[in-house]
Amino acid sequence: MLTTDILIIGSGISGLFFAMKTAQKRPDLSIVIMTKEAARNTNTQLAQGGIAVVTDLIKDSFNKHIHDTLRSGGGLCDREIVNMVITQAPERLKELIEIGTSFDKDEKGRWNLGLEGGHSQHRILHHKDSSGLEIERKLLKIIRKMPNIELWENHMVIDLNTETRKNKTTCTGVFFYDKKHNRIKYIRTRTVVLSTGGCGQLFENTTNPKIATGDGLAMAARAGAEIVDMQYIQFHPTALYTSKENPLFLISEAVRGFGAHIVNEDKKRFLFKYDIRGELATRDMVSSAISKELRLSGKDHVYLDCRHLNKAEFYANFPIIAAHCNELGIKPEKDLIPIVPAAHYQCGGIKVDQNGTTAIPNLYAIGECARTGLHGKNRLASNSLLEALVFAHQASENVDRTIAGFLFSNRILIPKFPKAHQVDDYLAFEILKKELQKLVTAFYTNEERDADLTFEKIKELHNYAVSLTQTHEITIPFIEFSNMIAVSLIIVKQCKASNKEMC
């Protein structure tokens, strides 16, 4: 039987950082990282703006960063968690730098700190506008060399197996789909770490890549973990508007921090009507102001105006954004850039404690799939990569302390799924996904929404999907779609329960 001491699901910043730290501390433990596509295909590698850390103790302070985070979270942050994450940030940053991650400096060798919406100080460390890619590359490079880590790409986890003895439930292994050999298999383990990212693909407009289908959250819910705050999906105000792309290309918050304006069809700035901070208000405020403006005008996008900015500096600081605009025939130095708010980040998720532990003691959730209490209603820009590092560290320490108490289960498990095969149902499920995205988006962004009706319609879609797989054979599109359905139903339920105002 396949066996590993620790199984990590996901190869983004949280999974890789956890793997690296745990492997260094515990060379006696075997670690497998599974990822459903190529290892680099993550939200992490798309992160542009950077990572928020207090490094300048003259102008800035932990208290200011704490205050900005609490303010952005709209009263729903857990203050102890906010303190823990922000005060630990410099140590975690140091560890990233020690493995060769590079962040931009000015000509005097000082950090070139960016400013983003909701931050009262320049405190964002970045690697041009490809910070996530730089971090992902360096972490992958190091973990590929570690003898006690195996990285299994193109292995999609289907479900967690749990066992309950003497009223105590533990996670004893996972069922997964080995895409290369086209087979469903089982691996037993003593600890499972979910680092599966978010669920942006539930929405029509999103900055999240195709992998972001909420799999980890759906699996955790099925296993009995608690899921909270899923009514708080963060929309990023400045996704590049094109009617055809999925995901939409992000124009980083740092561009507004650099001085770009948001203007309407008449080339007029309008954000000050809604918030005195204008372009530098938090994401929820800016997205909501744009949505209101779009409803008033009946248009489908507004614009980012960078024409007044220094062209050479703009191109030097945002080479990827500039190149992407240029490819579409948009010259930021003379053209307005069309933008629209897009689903970007799930602020809620699998409920965890300060060590990343879920309600199941040997099941951890870290990174975007977890709800730690840091973000409240609305994540402060560039706090997500930081949260992933801090909780990967906390979870790693806790696994070191507690794994001796979790032994392998001796039960032999035969995959409970009949068989795996790749039927050509990709297209059918792409159409179903679009239907689901339409339903969820309409529900989430509509003031007049009807939760019960949406719930029923989502269930109808699911029944139809089940009828498509007449023999009930498992296929990747079916698994992903079922997870998306499960997460959509949770969002609708939690929105209804909280009577949340429109985003």
Ligand X SMILES: Cc1cc2nc3c(=O)[nH]c(=O)nc-3n(C[C@H](O)[C@H](O)[C@H](O)COP(=O)(O)OP(=O)(O)OC[C@H]3O[C@@H](n4cnc5c(N)ncnc54)[C@H](O)[C@@H]3O)c2cc1C
Helix (H, G, I), strand (E, B) or coil at 138: helix
Query: What's the min distance (Å) between Cβ of 323 and ligand X?
Result: 15
Q: Which of residues 108-147 bind ligand X (CB under 6 A)?
A: 131-132
Judged by CB, which is closer to ligand X: 207, or 494? 207
Quick check: 78 binds ligand X (CB under 6 A)? no
Residue 213 CB, nearest distance to ligand X (Å)?
Answer: 7
195 binds ligand X (CB under 6 A): yes
Q: Is 77 in the site for ligand X (CB under 6 A)?
A: no
Own/partner contacts of 163-172, CB < 8 Å, gap of 24 or more, are: 163/409, 163/411, 168/361, 169/224, 169/360, 170/360, 170/361, 170/362, 170/363, 170/406, 171/223, 171/360, 171/362, 171/363, 172/408, 172/409, 172/411
CA angle, 303 then 307 then 311, to 5° = 130
Write down the catalytic residue from 283, 295, 371, 379: 283
Instruction: Say if residues 488 and 495 touch (Cβ distance below 8 Å).
Output: no
Q: Closest CB to ligand X among 87 and 297? A: 87
**Structure-token match 């489908």, residue found:** 300
Asked if 368 interacts with ligand X (CB under 6 A), we say yes
Closest to ligand X by CB, 50 or 237: 50
Compute how many other C-beta atoms are within 10 angstroms of the C-beta atom of residue 403. 17
The distance from CA 95 to its chain's CA centroid, rounded to whole angstroms, is 22
Alpha-carbon Rg of the chain, whole angstroms? 22
At which residue do the structure tokens 């570690």 appear?
146
Local structure of 349: helix, strand or coil: strand
Interface residue with ligand X, options 4, 6, 7, 12 (CB under 6 A): 12
Residues 373-392 that bind ligand X (CB under 6 A): 382-385, 388
Residue 342 or 458 having the CB closest to ligand X:
342
DSSP, collapsed to helix, strand or coil, labels residue 254 as: helix
Q: Which stretch binds ligand X (CB under 6 A): 3-11, 78-86, 329-337, 415-423?
A: 3-11
**211 near ligand X, judged by CB under 6 A:** yes
Phi, psi of 123 (to 5 degrees): -150, 15
Strand segments, DSSP code E, in 217-291 are 227-228, 233-240, 261-263
Helix (H) or strand (E) holding 25: helix 13-25
Nearest 5°: CA angle at 270, between 255 and 263?
Answer: 50
Tokens coding 2: 């396949």
Give whichever of 29 and 370 is closer to ligand X, judged by the CB atom. 370
Exactly one of 7, 8, 13, 347 binds ligand X (CB under 6 A); that residue is 13
- When binding is defined by CB under 6 A, the residue of 4, 22, 44, 201 that contacts ligand X is 44
The answer to the question of residue 199 lying near ligand X (CB under 6 A) is no
Query: What residues have CB less than 8 Å from 472, skipping those under 6 apart?
Result: 418, 466
Q: Is position 201 an interface residue for ligand X (rule: CB under 6 A)?
A: no
Q: Map the footprint of ligand X across residues 414-473, applying CB under 6 A.
A: none
Our CB check for ligand X shows the closer of 7 and 262 to be: 7
Residue 73 is a binding residue for ligand X (CB under 6 A): no
CB of 268 to ligand X, least distance (A): 28
CA quadruple 113, 78, 201, 445: dihedral positive or negative? negative
Q: Report if residue 156 touches ligand X, rule: CB under 6 A.
A: yes
Member of 250, 302, 486, 490 binding ligand X (CB under 6 A) = 250
Size of the site for ligand X (CB under 6 A): 42
Does 101 sit near ligand X (CB under 6 A)?
no
| Nearest CB to ligand X, comparing residues 131 and 445 | 131
Scanning 31-39, 182-190, 282-290, 333-341 for contacts with ligand X by CB under 6 A, the matching segment is: 31-39
Residue 60 lies near ligand X (rule: CB under 6 A): no
Exactly one of 7, 20, 47, 85 binds ligand X (CB under 6 A); that residue is: 47
Q: Does 197 bind ligand X (CB under 6 A)?
A: yes
How many helices (H) and strands (E) in the chain?
Answer: 13, 16
For ligand X, which stretch binds (CB under 6 A), given 40-48, 165-173, 296-304, 318-326? Answer: 40-48
Query: What is the Cα–Cα distance from 313 to 34, expressed in whole angstroms?
Result: 40
Instruction: At 270, give phi and psi (nearest 5°).
Output: -135, -5
List 46, 54, 458, 485, residue binding ligand X (CB under 6 A): 46
Site for ligand X in 341-360 (CB under 6 A): 345
Q: Strand pairing of 149-153 and 124-125? A: unpaired
Are 168 and 42 a contacting pair, CB within 8 Å?
A: no
Q: Please pick, from the candidates 43, 69, 358, 437, the single residue that binds ligand X as defined by CB under 6 A.
A: 43
Q: How many CB atoms lie within 10 A of CB 162?
A: 19
The residue (of 19 and 454) whose beta carbon lies closer to ligand X is: 19
Instruction: Select 309 or 369, whichever has its Cβ closest to ligand X.
Output: 369
Cα distance between the two ends of the chain: 48
Q: For ligand X, which is the closer residue by CB, 19 or 306?
A: 19
283 noted as active-site residue? yes
The residue from 130, 172, 196, 246 that contacts ligand X (CB under 6 A) is 196
160 touching ligand X, by CB under 6 A:
no
Interacting residue ranges for ligand X, rule: CB under 6 A: 9-15, 34-37, 41-44, 46-51, 131-132, 156-157, 195-197, 207-208, 211, 215-216, 250, 345, 367-368, 382-385, 388
Residues designated catalytic: 283
